[in-house]
Structure 1
Amino acid sequence: MRYSKDHKLETHARIVKKASVRLRERGAHGIGVADLMKDAGLTHGGFYAHFDSREALLIEAFAYAMDRSTDRWRKLAEQTSPDKRLATIVDSYLTPTHRDDLGHGCTIPALSAEIARESPKTRKAFAVKLEQMVDILAEQIPDVPRKAARKQAMASLATMMGTLVLARVAGGGEFSDDILGAGREAVLDRVAAAKAGAKKVAGKKASVPARH
């Protein structure tokens, strides 16, 4: 039976979506191609009709998941006043719900350690998506020069990721919840300090009399 181009594209997208969930749940090496295809309702033999290699599927799957995260952050930002956007994103990220749902959560804490051991091609593709996430966070830090905002976004994302990893390791009890709370405070306190510093510098520049 011959299928239409649209059918093949839909099937390809379904495989990628299913793989993105399973990879986050079990890790990049915790599930094989046969199982990934089975999850998508297909046979192992059909894999190479859609992907050149397992690496190709891995790259598409984590890219899909990371794009979903950035899309979610954009929507949250659009629905929130500028001064509360970063806090809203951080609050939505460091939650018990996110901690307990690996399959639909952020790719970074779920797969980054394994991606670091993958091929240069895979690491480069991951880095591109990671940088996009940093840029989205940086856009939510107003009243701070772009370079400083980007630096704060990198530190914030690293703290958010590390917090989620530790909270998952700690389980789902009070200690784990405390870790999530500490991470939220650390991110927002650091950004608040950066904003205060930027305003202080701007104030000093404004108070310096012009030379004639």
Structure 2
Amino acid sequence: MRYSKEHKNQTHARIVKRASVKLRERGAHGIGVADLMKEAGLTHGGFYAHFDSRDALVIEAVTHAMDRSTERWRKLSEETPPEKRLSKIVNSYLAPEHRDNPGQGCAVPALAAEIARESSKTRRVFSGRMEQMIDMLADQYPGLPRKAARKQAMAALATMMGSLVMARVTGNSELSDEILKSGRDAVLERAASSEKKPPRRAATSV
């Protein structure tokens, strides 16, 4: 039975979406092709009608997951006054809901260590999407020159992701909640401090 191109595209998208969830829940090596295809209502052999290899599926699943995170941040920004956008993003990221639902959350804290051991192509895709996340976060520092805003964004992202990893390791506990709060405070206090600093004046010769 031959299916239309639209049906094939819909099936392909369903597999990628499902894989992106499993990838974040179980890690890059936690995706079993046979089980994944079964969940999608397809046979193991049908996998190669959609993907050239397992790596191809991982790349698409990572891309899907990271694009969703960036889009979520963009939507939060559009719905929030400029002066509250950074805190909105940080508070939603370092929240118990995000900690407790890795399959629906950011791919970076869930996968970064494993992606470092994947193929060079997978790492390039991951790096490119992370660059987009940095740029998106840098947009939330409008009072800073672009280079300084990117530096702040990188530090903020590292703090947010590290805090989330630590919070997940310690589980749903009082310590975990303290880690989330400490991460939020660190990012937002640093941002407030940078806004108060007067711009550095160029040295003048005497």
Give TM-score scaled by structure 1 length: 0.93
Amino acid across the alignment from 1:59: I
Deviations 1:9-49 (A, max 9, x none): 00000000000001111111022111121121211100000
Residues 152-211 of structure 1 deviation map (CA, whole Å, 9 limit, x = unaligned): 1111111100000000001101110000000000111111222222xx126x57xx9xxx
Q: Check conservation: 2:163, 2:183, Cα contact below 8 A.
A: yes
Q: Match of 1:170?
A: 170
Asked if the contact 2:17/2:64 (under 8 Å) is kept, the reply is yes
What stretches of structure 1 of length at least 5 have no aligned partner? none
1:11 corresponding residue in structure 2: 11
Aligned identity (percent) is: 68
Aligned length: 204
Correspondences of 1:36-115 after superposition (within 5 Å): 36-115=36-115
1:201 partner letter: P
Query: What is the 5 A alignment of 1:132-151?
Result: 132-151=132-151
Give the gaps of 5 or more residues in structure 2.
Answer: none
* Partner AA of 1:76 in structure 2: L
Question: 4+ residue runs of structure 1 moved beyond 3 angstroms?
Answer: none
Instruction: State whether residues 115 and 123 of structure 2, in contact with CA within 8 Å, keep that contact through their aligned partners in structure 1.
Output: yes
Asked if the contact 1:83–1:142 (Cα under 8 Å) also holds between the matched residues in 2, the reply is: no
Structure ranking higher in helix proportion: 1
Give me the whole-angstrom Cα distance separating, in 1, the residues matched to 2:6 and 2:156.
40
Conserved 8 A contact 1:138-1:153: yes
CA contact (8 A) 1:62 1:107 kept: yes
